[in-house]
Structure formats: structure tokens, C-alpha cells
Amino acid sequence: MPPIQSGAGAFSGLLLGGIICWVQQTFGIIGLQSDGSFVVNAYPVNMKLMDFVYVLLTVFAIGYAAVWYPVRQISKKHLNQKL
């Protein structure tokens, strides 16, 4: 299981990213600098649930991989010292 920090970072990042995307979709805060040649006035944003799921799974996979090897090495060393 990845450390709690990975989970907290993933969920807070997803929440903040979702809020920023919603604000851009709703209010168009970041506009396009043009002379009116674009169909839209602001950068378009499209949020999809699967994007959030992929990000969450990626963070957990990297967090698990980052913890697995060091814990395995420490466990081996600790077990060898007890024998």
C-alpha cells in the first residue's frame, strides 16, 4: 500500500485540478488572444471521469513502486540480522 502522503496528494491534487477545470469551463478565465478568428473566446477544457481514474491509479502505482523496493531491502537486512 502506498504511503498516506501519496493518497492525500493524489486526492487533493485531483480536487484542485477538478476545481480549476470547472472554473475554466464555467467562466473562461484564460482567454485566447486573437482578433476574433477563433470560434471560442477561452481555452476549452473537457473533464472526463476516466482521466481522474487514470491519474489516481498512476499515483498509487508510482507510490507503491517507490515504497516496495526500500521496504523489501530493509526487511531482508532485518531478517538476516535476527538469524
pLDDT, one tens digit per residue, over 23-81 is 999 998 998 887 777 788 888 999 999 999 999 999 888 888 888 888 888 888 777 77
Domain that holds residue 46: 4-74
- Rounded to two decimals, the pTM is 0.72
**Domain contains 81:** no
Confidence of residue 11 (pLDDT cuts 50, 70, 90): very high
DSSP letter for each residue of 32-74: --SSS-SS-SB------HHHHHHHHHHHHHHHHHHHHHHHHHH
**Domain contains 19:** yes
Q: Cα(46)–Cα(53) distance, rounded to whole angstroms?
A: 15
Q: Are 6 and 63 in contact (CB under 8 A)?
A: yes
Instruction: Give the count of beta carbons closer than 10 Å to the beta carbon of residue 63.
Output: 19
Query: How many structural domains is the chain composed of?
Result: 1
Q: Cα(8)–Cα(77) distance, rounded to whole angstroms?
A: 30
